[in-house]
Amino acid sequence: MTAFETVPVLITAAELDSLLRTGNPAPVVLDVRWRLGDPYGREQYLKEHLPGALYVDLDTELAAPATPGGGRHPLPDPASLQAATRRWGLSSGRAVVVYDDNGNTAAARAWWLLRWAGVEHVRLLDGALDAWRAAGLPTETGEPEAPAPGDIVLAPGQLPVLNADAAAEVARTGVLLDARVAERYRGEDEPVDPRAGHIPGALSAPTGENLAADGTFRPAEDLALRFTALGADDATEVGVYCGSGVTATHTIAALAHAGIPAALYAGSWSAWSADPARPAAQGEEPG
Q: 259 and 224 in contact (C-beta within 8 Å)?
A: yes
Q: What does the alpha-carbon distance between residue 54 and residue 145 come to, in Å, rounded to a whole number?
A: 9
Q: What does the alpha-carbon distance between residue 28 and residue 97 come to, in Å, rounded to a whole number?
A: 6
Q: What does the alpha-carbon distance between residue 286 and residue 171 come to, in Å, rounded to a whole number?
A: 9
Q: What does the alpha-carbon distance between residue 20 and residue 46 come to, in Å, rounded to a whole number?
A: 20
Q: Which residues contact 87 (CB under 8 A, 6 or more apart)?
A: 149, 150
The candidate with the shortest Cα–Cα distance to 243, out of 201, 183, 286, 285, is: 183
Q: What does the alpha-carbon distance between residue 201 and residue 175 come to, in Å, rounded to a whole number?
A: 8
Q: What is the DSSP letter of 219?
A: P
Active-site entry in 242, 252, 253, 274? 242
- What is the distance between the terminal CA atoms of the chain, rounded to a whole angstrom? 35
Helices 247-257, 220-229: inter-axial angle, 10-degree rounding? 110
Active site residue 84: no
Instruction: Report, as residue numbers or ranges, the catalytic residues.
Output: 242
